[in-house]
Every structure is written in C-alpha cells, then in structure tokens.
C-alpha cells in the first residue's frame, strides 16, 4: 500500500504553534502515522462531511480530510477538545 502525503492548512500550522511544546511532539507523531494509515483504529468520521475525520491525541483533537484519489491527508485543525469545534 502506498503511503499518503500529509499537508497542513495555515490555520492548522497556527494551531500547532499555540500548543505547549511538550505536547506537540506526540501530536506530530500521531499525524505522521496518518501517512501509513489515514483511518486508524479509533478514528471518527465527522457528521455532515464526506471526507473529514478526527483523531484523539490526549486532550487534543486533530481534524483532517482524506483525499484518496491523490493519496493526501490535509490537517485542518489541531486544538484542545473543548475548543476544536468552535
């Protein structure tokens, strides 16, 4: 199976800069795993969206879209669980 390319929106990059550095490495590790398996165990498909999913990394959520036709994962948002959907 080919691996997916992972890209970040500007807002996701900003989100990551706002998160405490001690937590960012574990978040990046989980995002990197999406390249090998964009639909890992525990992933949740978001209601009302065809290609949008989220994974949990501790108290943080990573929201992303999968574009299977070009093997691409686009990270849209990374935020604390209380703020991610606002």
Distance CA 10, CA 16 (A): 10
List of domains in the chain: 5-80 (3.30.2310.20)
Q: Is the dihedral of CA 56, 62, 64, 66 positive or negative?
A: negative
Distance CA 82, CA 84 (A): 6
pTM score, whole prediction? 0.93
Model confidence pLDDT, tens digit, residues 5-62: 999 999 999 999 999 999 999 999 999 999 999 999 999 999 998 999 999 999 999 9
Strand partners, 33: none
Reported as a pLDDT band with limits 50, 70 and 90, residue 84 is confident
Reported as a pLDDT band with limits 50, 70 and 90, residue 2 is confident
Q: What is the dihedral of CA 51, 76, 86, 82, to 10 degrees?
A: 100
By three-state DSSP, how is residue 54 classified?
strand
Output the six-digit token pair for 17: 């800069």
Model confidence pLDDT, tens digit, residues 33-46: 999 999 999 999 99
């Amino acid at each position: 199976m080919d691996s997916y390319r992972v890209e970040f929106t500007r807002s996701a990059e900003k989100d990551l800069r706002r998160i405490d550095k001690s937590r960012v490495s574990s978040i990046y590790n989980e995002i990197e795993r999406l390249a090998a398996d964009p639909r890992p165990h525990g992933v949740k498909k978001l209601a009302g969206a065809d290609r949008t999913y989220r994974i949990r990394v501790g108290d943080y959520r990573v929201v992303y879209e999968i574009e299977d036709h070009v093997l691409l994962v686009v990270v849209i948002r990374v935020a604390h669980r209380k703020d991610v959907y606002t």
